[in-house]
Structure 1
């Protein structure tokens, strides 16, 4: 049974309901993450406050397959990710991750990369948990974000996935370095346009399920749902959190799509909660906590070379304020 058939849907938040002063039970009923602590998690609280404030209009999500299919997934030698990640020291695990960004305009790049569908550039923006060592058995990666495909109508959309690798002996003829392709899932009833402000995140539940949520802050439209873990054994969640611009993979050929020329993306609210368990006491983590920066590279034939096409840089959002990250497209023809 597809994971989307098992997803839990929440009661719809009534129009005009005051989420800022809702009880924990009411937040659970409506699929809203719990309110962070004002003293120990001020940056998470700022994210949460914007998330639940007006404009706000909730609906249950409608899921659909991406056509044509495309696959998100783990880091592959910096060929498909650009952004940053932070890891938490054992035994703590990251149980909540947040992100905000504006929908970027996208265009076909000036040059075609080698080994790609050169006429079909695609990009995915997302926040996710784990997946850093995706070639290892049982690694998984719950992620939620937006897609930006110049050749698609509409070219901007919301999506989610819980990518996972499988044990080699679970897939006959496959090796540890050959994860099965898994197409991402469209959130079909959350429209967006260039420049719209997006808020998104993930919250790990005591059950091991994950609460996914995403909001178009420019329109107020909010969607949330609960997903169980993928079938089969997976490693415990929460070793890392990522904020990423990605170029996805074609499930059939496993070739990476080329990266579109995109407007700079400023990831905001790059904050997470690390805890001893889903309900344990925790601490807030930010990009100031030993962030690992990831530059995306593509190879080109004229002349033959490999260049950085997406470069991340840490950004101080305000004096003594939170640290964000900006991903910028690097024109391969320059």
Structure 2
């Protein structure tokens, strides 16, 4: 049984239903994250208010395998990630993460990178939990976002995954629970176009399951679902949260794809909730809390050199307002 087959679907929000004043039980019924506190979590509250406000039209998501397969998740941050992360000190755990961005246009880069899977550039934008130390046993990374591939039709799509690195078998050194990397999964009934405004996030439930949610704010279309942890043992979630531009890998060969030339991406609503007690309690975290910036590099020939191809930069969204992160493509030919 695939992860998708194990997902739980929620009741569809009735047309015209007032989510702004819905009860906690009603929000749970419809797969809507709980309302943050306007006083102690003002930036989360602003995100949530936009998420549930008009335009808003919900459907149960439908899923499909992506062809050809590609996998998200951790490999080596400097090679396949660009963006920012924040971590929280033990015993706190991040139990809610939010993000917003506009869908960038993407193009083939001017120069092909060495050592990549093919001349087939691909990029993924996402918000996720953990995965920073992806080489460690039992680390996992639930993530949700949008994909942007210049040579795919349509070139933009919504997707999700719960990547995990399983504990290897002591005798063989191979993973007993995940012998092959898991390809990302399309949310194939949520249309995404260049310039559309996207809101997305994850909420850890008391059960250990995760509420995944994503909205195309430009069209009002909303999708949410509940996913259980992947099979096998995983470490407890919530040591970090990331906002990332990624170039994915091929699940079979583990080769990276080239990064497309992309329009600048401004991650907004880079906010999370860290809890040290019951799920849902705790404090709001932002990029003002020990943010770590991640640059992506690629290697090119003629002459052979390694250069930064995607550079992050913290950004003040408004005067005295929240902090976001911008990712910008760096043309390797320049």
TM interval, short-chain normalised: over 0.9
CA RMSD of aligned residues (A): 1.5
- What is aligned with 1:157? 157
User: Gapped runs of 5+ residues in structure 2?
Assistant: none
Q: Could you tell me which residue of structure 2 aligns to residue 99 of structure 1?
A: 99
- Is residue 91–residue 276 contact of structure 2 (8 Å, CA) maintained in 1? yes
Give 1:116-195 correspondences, 5 Å limit: 116-169=116-169, 172-174=172-174, 180-195=180-195
SS of residue in 2 equivalent to 1:133: coil
TM-score by length of 1: 0.97
What is the CA-CA distance between 1:115 and the residue it aligns to?
A: 0.9
Give the 3 Å change call, closer, same or farther, for CA 312–179 of structure 1 in structure 2. Answer: farther
Distance 1:90 1:198, change over 3 A: same
On the 8 A contact 1:95/1:277 being kept in 2, the answer is no
Q: CA deviation at 1:159?
A: 0.2
Map Cα deviations across residues 139-166 of structure 1 (whole Å, 9 max, x no partner).
0000000000000000000000000001
- Answer whether contact 2:77 2:132 (CA < 8 A) is retained: no
The 2-side partners of 1:52 and 1:246 are apart by: 28
Matched with 1:273 is: 273
Q: How many equivalent pairs are there? A: 333
Q: Is the 8 A contact 1:61 1:187 kept in 2?
A: yes
The equivalent of 2:78 in structure 1 is 78
Whole-angstrom CA distance in 1 between matches of 2:77 and 2:29: 41
What per-residue deviation string (whole Å, max 9, x for no partner) do you get for residues 61-85 of structure 1?
0000000000111141410000000
What is the aligned partner in structure 1 of residue 90 from structure 2? 90
Counterpart position of 1:204: 204
Partner Cα separation in structure 2 for residue 170 and residue 249 of structure 1: 26
Q: Could you tell me which residue of structure 2 aligns to residue 215 of structure 1? A: 215
- Note the residue ranges of structure 1 that are not aligned, 5 or more in a row: none
Name the residue aligned to 2:295: 295
Tell me, yes or no, if the aligned pair for 2:100 and 2:197 is still in contact at 8 Å.
yes
Structure 1 residue aligned with 2:259: 259
**1:112–1:118 CA contact under 8 A, matched in 2:** no
Structure 1 runs (4+) deviating above 6 angstroms are none
Q: State the TM-score, normalized to the length of structure 2.
A: 0.97
